Amino acid sequence: MINARARALLEFEAANPGRDLPKLDKIRRLGLTPEGYESRLEQLVADVDVMAEYPELVYRYWNQRRENGSRR
């Protein structure tokens, strides 16, 4: 089951999919560090309930990770 705080983070990510400076400012205004946000998001996208309810977000997240990994 997805709790309210997790759902809010997922909705935020769905509405702000990029990795730009304005998004980083918004993350900080949520009271999170960019690293903390990414860590929590990584935990969430591995959850089967999140996969079932937010499949596009999960797919996009793992595609971005794979692309970033192949550039290194």
What is the per-residue pLDDT across 20-57, written as a single tens digit (0 to 9) for each? 889 999 999 989 999 999 999 999 999 999 999 999 99
pLDDT recorded at residue 72: 58
The pairs formed by 37-40 with CB atoms below 8 angstroms and a separation of 24 or more are 37/9, 40/6, 40/9
What pLDDT does residue 20 have?
83
Q: What is the span of the domain harbouring residue 48?
A: 4-71
The encoded tokens of residue 10 equal 């997922």
Based on the structure, what is the number of domains in the chain? 1
Q: What is the model's pTM?
A: 0.84
